[in-house]
Amino acid sequence: MSKHVYNSSLILRAALIAVAALTAGCSAGVDDELRGYIAEVKARPGGRIEPLPQIRPYETFAYTADSARSPFQPDRPDSPSAIAGPKPVKDRNKEYLEQFPLDTLAMVGTLENSGTTFGLVQTQDGMVHRVTPGNYVGQNDGRIVDINAAAIRLEELVPDGIGGFYKRSAEIGLSD
């Protein structure tokens, strides 16, 4: 058995020596080819290097349109180019029902007292509020213009997207 191990070890060593010899022979050809290429490149005539471009000093720019209106800001309301049309009243106190969207409010009835008709509006939390023509309701500056037994009619001021507003009619109908 030891003779078999000795022969295997001898064969393995011989194989390693053969592989090393073959590898060394291959690299000699590659080295010769590489050395030839390097010699060829070195034998070429040298070229002329272009000079660096002239760097000019920075020229400052004087911005003269600083007094013009910024295109990113809307027109001022006091400017002559401001859009004409209906506008919300800015200096008034907001009423309680203006915090609710119209679709969350429901008319639950009317009430007459001393010749004045009141509309009864219920919010989502179940509270009932009394309104008259001239009161504001909803989130778009909706002003009540008429109250009858079937509905509360109002006019809202809706932004038109270009800085102005337009009037839109809306109703809060009597709920079942």
Identify whether 119 is part of a domain.
Answer: yes
Query: Per DSSP, what are the bridge partners of residue 157?
Result: 167
**Which pLDDT score is estimated for 13?**
81
Give the count of domains, the chain: 1
Higher pLDDT, residue 91 or 6: 91
**Which pLDDT score is estimated for 152?**
95
**Which pLDDT score is estimated for 77?**
57
CATH classification at residue 127: 2.30.30.830
Distances (CA, A) of 146 to 5, 24, 92, 135, 151: 114, 106, 21, 10, 8
Tens of pLDDT, residue by residue over 86-121, are 888 888 999 999 999 999 999 999 999 998 899 999
Distances (CA, A) of 13 to 3, 4, 93: 15, 14, 102
Identify whether 136 is part of a domain.
Answer: yes
Q: By residue range, what is the domain housing residue 112?
A: 96-173
Identify whether 51 is part of a domain.
Answer: no
Percentage with pLDDT > 70 across the chain:
85
Identify whether 121 is part of a domain.
Answer: yes
Higher pLDDT, residue 49 or 152: 152
pTM of the full structure: 0.53
Identify whether 78 is part of a domain.
Answer: no
Work out the average pLDDT over 13-38. 76
Identify whether 146 is part of a domain.
Answer: yes
Residue 3 has pLDDT above 60, yes or no: no
Identify whether 46 is part of a domain.
Answer: no
Identify whether 64 is part of a domain.
Answer: no
Closest CA to 102 of 2, 23, 169: 169
Q: What is the CA radius of gyration of the chain?
A: 46
